[in-house]
Structure 1
Amino acid sequence: MTNKMKYQWRITKYNPVFRNRDGSYMADEWTSASDIGNAFSGKEFTLNEYLEVENAYVASVMEYLRESQLTSLRVVQLQIHHELFLDKTSPLYEDTFNLPIVEDSVIHEKDIPTICKMILRDYIHCHFVSMGQFFVHFGWDYYMYIGSNQPCNNAIQFAQNNKLFVEEYPSPYYLVEEKVIRYVEWAAKGEEVIVGEERLQNVPLSELQKALHLSEEHPVIGSFTIKPDNIDFFQQLMNHKMDFERYAYYLYGGD
């Protein structure tokens, strides 16, 4: 991610006329699939209303993908909310959600709509990337950001025709490599509290990808477990004496 994505948009169900001068959204609207059944502005939010909006988001992703001339995307920063998969009676659960998905996997276009649904319904969280060409970032409160090296005028019109609002807007989740800060963090084994960290300086992205067994497309943003077989690589970059008997180590990359 060394070159800034030329075109970036915020694509949402939120009408910009309801934003104040600070950009905060002031209308009383639902922000998650979990809001189904709740009342907004005195009216119950139904499953059918939710699905109509979700379909517009998913279809818009596919239109942007096609206009960017891509047929697959890579999954990064994956988090799986396993507890939600336990309730297979939920109207939000679909049998297709058993699709195997792992960090750095390539998802082909036939499966991208399913992954989008899983994200929008909070079963998982991840972003899609195609290095230097395209991204889809899903944020909190049903915000979606798309970036492409193509202007995607037809996709913009498609989203607008499906009652979505498209604004030229940089994704808050997009980082060029030069802006990424990376640390090695450690916690006592069996504990979650980080007790130490050390910043890595001037380590080429390609070397981190190789050490962590990631593809050349992966931006190495997020949190990654450092395994004992990587001690030689990471120890040469650090003053801290790594001790895998006492600590669990993680690489964190972000801003």
Structure 2
Amino acid sequence: MLTYVYRVTKYDPADREGHGRYTGPEDTVSDHGAVEGAYLRAVAAFAADTGIDHLVVREPQIPSLSHFGVEPPVDGFGLARLFPSGQAAFHDGARMPLDIVLELVRVMLRDSGAWCRLEAEDTFAVHVGWDQYLYISSSRPCEKALARTRELGLFSERLDASPYALEAEEEEQVIQRPADDDFWADLHRAVVTGRAGILEETYLEGASRWHHLTSDTIDPVRVGLTPRARLAVWPSLSTDIDAVVRALPADGLVEGVWQDEGGNIRSVIADEDEFPELTARISRAHAAALLSVYAGERVPLCTAVMPDNDGVLRARWRTEPTPSDGDWVLRQPQG
């Protein structure tokens, strides 16, 4: 944990009541102007004081169902102009120069939908909480940056820790299977024997891609996966389209997954009001399946997380363990 943690805001501490709740005149949304610019200049000042010009994206996410920000939703969650190649460029472990870091902070200040932690390991971290609360952590006291923050009309308050910091025990709760050579060998056997047929790639929290698996496509799929993506292996889709349609529940949420005429795997989460459109899409599909979206009911065959190119698993997010994952853990050497 970094030694120096500051909460930087436009809220004067003198306007807080006894329990710390702000009661002053400042609004809880960005002004998209001078005050927002002050926040960004404060981040730049702390980065300069720490000697940082790049940060790494950690645990990136976008909304999967609903937009809970106080501002109207933005197309592409504010990422489109930053990453013309697509959302996949915004992934865990992506190294960003300071100018892009500041634009990501702007996206978060505006509640555009995308969120992440931005870090330089053991040196610096910045992230945005609700209501324009900015948290900056450094290995240095950053006296120059604190003075600059005051000049910008903002307030910095020393904290023991950010409420959004990821605790070490959270990272180590579950032994996570890496998607290493042994995983892919097991997956190849499962595909060849007909036990597995599709792969779900969660490349952002809230965003997934689906891949059709055959003995010929496994290697190309592996090469094209997003760094540090979470993976879930599922059985093949059913070609009995009528049976899939009949299995739609009367109400609630369900994820429909289908293979279109071009062979691409598509998916959508729908409720009862959207079932007619989902039925129409599935009815035109070559194969399809319905998956639960509820915790405890959504159980793939097995899961894994992509390691880095050197084989080290640095992603901190974890998959929900399946019975097969538990078997894998039991087979590991005990240290």
Shorter-normalised TM range = 0.5 to 0.7
Q: Distance in 2 between matches of 1:9 and 1:16?
A: 13
Compared CA separation, residues 87 and 233, structure 1 to 2 (3 A): closer
Q: After superposition, where does 1:1-255 map in structure 2 within 5 Å?
A: 4-33=1-30, 49-81=31-63, 84-86=73-75, 96-99=81-84, 100-123=89-112, 124-169=114-159, 170-178=161-169, 180=171, 182=173, 190-195=291-296, 211-214=305-308, 218=314, 220-221=316-317, 224=319, 235-237=327-329
User: When you count strand as a share of all residues, which structure comes out higher?
Assistant: 1
Q: CA deviation at 1:52?
A: 0.8
Unmatched runs of 5 consecutive residues or more in structure 2:
68-72, 177-231, 233-253, 256-289, 299-303, 331-335
Asked if the contact 1:72/1:108 (under 8 Å) is kept, the reply is yes
Q: Distance in 2 between matches of 1:108 and 1:225?
A: 33
RMSD: 3.7
The aligned amino acid for 1:195 is G
Asked if the contact 2:307/2:313 (under 8 Å) is kept, the reply is no
Compared CA separation, residues 195 and 136, structure 1 to 2 (3 A): same
- What is the TM-score when the length of structure 1 is the normalising length? 0.65
Q: CA deviation at 1:53?
A: 0.9
Secondary structure in structure 2 of the residue aligned to 1:10: strand
Q: Distance in 1 between matches of 2:145 and 2:316?
A: 29
Q: CA deviation at 1:12?
A: 0.5
Compared CA separation, residues 87 and 175, structure 1 to 2 (3 A): closer
Compared CA separation, residues 163 and 217, structure 1 to 2 (3 A): farther
The aligned amino acid for 1:122 is D
Asked if the contact 1:130/1:217 (under 8 Å) is kept, the reply is no
Compared CA separation, residues 57 and 225, structure 1 to 2 (3 A): farther
Unmatched runs of 5 consecutive residues or more in structure 1:
34-48, 198-209, 239-255
Larger radius of gyration: 2
Q: Distance in 1 between matches of 2:147 and 2:170?
A: 33
The aligned amino acid for 1:173 is Y
- What is the TM-score when the length of structure 2 is the normalising length? 0.51
**Identity across matched positions, percent:** 23
Q: CA deviation at 1:81?
A: 4.8
Task: After superposition, give the CA deviation of every residue in 1:39-84 in whole Å (9 maximum; x if it has no partner).
Answer: xxxxxxxxxx541111011111111111111111111121235983
- Greater relative contact order, per chain length (Cα 8 Å cut-off, separation 6+): 1
Task: After superposition, give the CA deviation of every residue in 1:82-109 in whole Å (9 maximum; x if it has no partner).
Answer: 9834399xxxx79734454222211112
Asked if the contact 2:171/2:316 (under 8 Å) is kept, the reply is no
Q: CA deviation at 1:17?
A: 0.7
Compared CA separation, residues 50 and 111, structure 1 to 2 (3 A): closer
Count of aligned pairs between the two proteins: 200
